[in-house]
A and B are shown apart, each in its own frame.
Chain A
């Protein structure tokens, strides 16, 4: 069965520091991986995705993520956090071997303090 784990309910960082939001996955077949961000009372907004190719993927708002096949991870990173990055972040995965349904992690709240 496919699954996504975001092991941290909340991540706290100081503004200007680097941030990492962790994600690990389990799929049969090749994974297609996504990150979304959700601001209060809004829908999920697409940040970036990994389909194939370079393991380091760059996305919106200065975020990037690194696909690590051996560790089955797709951690979200940003070199310098902003207070405005504070939001709820979701990792999601599809498998090349199923119907294409997106499986979401439980979400990680990122709190960036001034």
Chain B
């Protein structure tokens, strides 16, 4: 375990469903991130939160809605997804500041049917 926990590990949902992905860390980190990883594509940074405030949204469709209620928890709410949204969704966290890397969770494998 890395200290960043993602649930569920696998999720199958229909295009009309609403579901949420959860990420939790108790490493004392102040920054949290959502990444999308599709087959044979580079990692795509979706959202960045620093001290619970969203600081980056990389033109992500509104069917993905992030929520960061505190520095330890990050959610990604999903609704009316498309099959092309099927991917591995990775959460990461880091301390604030320059010389630190990220700690990643194991990801949620999402399949949209």
A44 within 8 A of B: yes
Q: Which of A41-73 contact B (CB under 8 A)?
A: 41-46, 49, 51
Contact between B101 and A107, CB atoms less than 8 A apart: no
Contact (Cβ within 8 A) B102 A102: yes
The tally of CB-CB contacts under 8 A between chains A and B is 56
A42-B107 contact, Cβ under 8 Å, with A100-B97, A104-B42, A104-B43: yes
Residues of A within 8 A of B99 (CB): 32, 51, 94
Whether A44 pairs with B90 at a CB distance below 8 angstroms is: yes
**B48 beta carbon closer than 8 Å to chain A:** yes
Question: Taking beta carbons and an 8 Å cutoff, which residues of B are in contact with A?
Answer: 2, 4, 6, 31, 42-43, 45, 48, 55-56, 88, 90, 92, 94, 96-107, 109
Which residues of A does B touch, CB under 8 Å? Answer: 32, 34, 36, 41-46, 49, 51, 90, 92, 94-96, 99-102, 104-107
- Would you give 20 A-B contacts (Cβ < 8 Å), ordered by A? A32-B98, A41-B107, A42-B107, A43-B92, A44-B90, A44-B92, A44-B102, A45-B104, A46-B103, A51-B99, A92-B101, A94-B98, A100-B97, A101-B45, A101-B48, A102-B102, A104-B42, A104-B43, A107-B42, A107-B43
